[in-house]
A and B are shown apart, each in its own frame.
Chain A
Amino acid sequence: MNNIFNYRIFLLLLRYILGGVFIYASIDKIQNPQEFSDLIDNFHITPITLNNIFALTLPWLELIIGFGLITGFFLEASLKIIILLLIWFIFILAQAVFRGIDTHCGCFKVGDGVENIDYKFLLIKRIFEDVVFLGMALILKFKAQFNKGK
């Protein structure tokens, strides 16, 4: 009984952490869509024409699903979006590393990494973080009992 209780606390904690991370990551991007759009340009993976739309939409999606995770509203949909987003982030960061693109990630703040000269190391660190978040999201997706677990 105690184990089940601890397990539910653990899942709840994962949800709060993941939700908090996504909300935190979205705020700076919502405030500076122009800079975020330029950052997306730097990854050279999406057509430039669409980057402003991505820059305007993506942070809000992160914010909404972050709240979704914390409050439990649209939990399953939020989790699915988070998993897809994290896989996408890992892909674009990895291609930037392999292609040797000199860019900073901007995952948390648009100006983040400014002091860090070694962009490749920063990108690999971000990939590692995203893999951890993806692991957390997958645990929630496959283990959590959404309706009972709150």
Chain B
Amino acid sequence: MELFLFLFRLKQFLNVCKFLFMTNTQKQIIGLILLSIFFGLIRNYFLESPLSLLKEKRIFETIEVQTNNNGEFTFDLPKDLTEPLNITIETVDYLRITNQSIIIDARDEEDFNKGRIKGAINIPFDYYEEFEFQLDDIDLEKILIVYCSGGECSLSIDLADYLMLDRGFFNVLVYEGGWPEWKGAGLPTE
């Protein structure tokens, strides 16, 4: 045990020695990086909403269409949502067929024009200011479904956050599977 402790101390000592014998440039590089981290942390401290140092991937709760005792589909949205919910492809299809929702494509205009979920409107997140007028006459209680290119695409989440937090829509859903899943499933497109 003491031997381990000794070896550990020896390693620490050697590490310190290694640092002392580093060239000036290497020390400067480490110094500049540490200085940047320091300034970054100070800046973060003074931000209105500081970032958490370890970022977490947002995980949305998923809500699905249900089948009742009579074999009919039902869909109940929880009241007072505080953040968008994720929905499955079956739920999107159900809400589309029953005309309960507005489907919003958050991809850019070029992708939207190449192909989209049938009946979707286009509000590209990157320039929503030019497109959001389409929602001006929509009731804030209306269900909005936002999608983009699936998997790695974050446009739908960003747009859903904007619609919910800034525009005040109450029922915003994100279809994370997005266009690739919808197209792959052979569901109606245009």
Asked if A80 contacts B25 (CB within 8 A), the reply is: yes
Q: For B52, list chain A residues within 8 Å (CB).
A: 52
Give complex CA distance A81, B33 in Å.
9
For B39, the chain A residues whose CB sits under 8 A away are 60, 64
Contact of B32 among A58, A68, A102 (CB under 8 A): A68
B161 CB to nearest chain A CB (Å): 11
Tell me whether B51 and A33 are in contact (CB under 8 A).
yes
Q: Is the interface of B mostly helix, strand, loop or mixed?
A: helix
Check B154 against A60 for contact (C-beta < 8 Å): no
Number of interface residues of A (CB under 8 A): 36
Q: A68-B32, A77-B28, A117-B110 are in contact. Are A57 and B51 (CB under 8 A)?
A: no
Q: Say how far A141's CB is from chain B's closest CB, in angstroms.
A: 11
- Within residues 24 to 73 of chain B, which ones have a CB less than 8 A from any CB in chain A? 25, 28-29, 31-33, 35-37, 39-41, 43-44, 47, 49, 51-57
Task: Indicate whether A64 sits within 8 Å of B35 (C-beta atoms), given known contacts A44-B152, A53-B53.
Answer: yes
Judge whether A55 and B51 touch: CB under 8 Å: yes
| Residues of B that sit less than 8 Å from A by CB | 25, 28-29, 31-33, 35-37, 39-41, 43-44, 47, 49, 51-57, 107-111, 126-127, 149, 152-154, 158
Which 10 residue pairs spanning A and B have beta carbons closest together? A56-B40, A77-B28, A61-B36, A60-B36, A60-B39, A57-B40, A52-B55, A52-B51, A77-B29, A74-B28
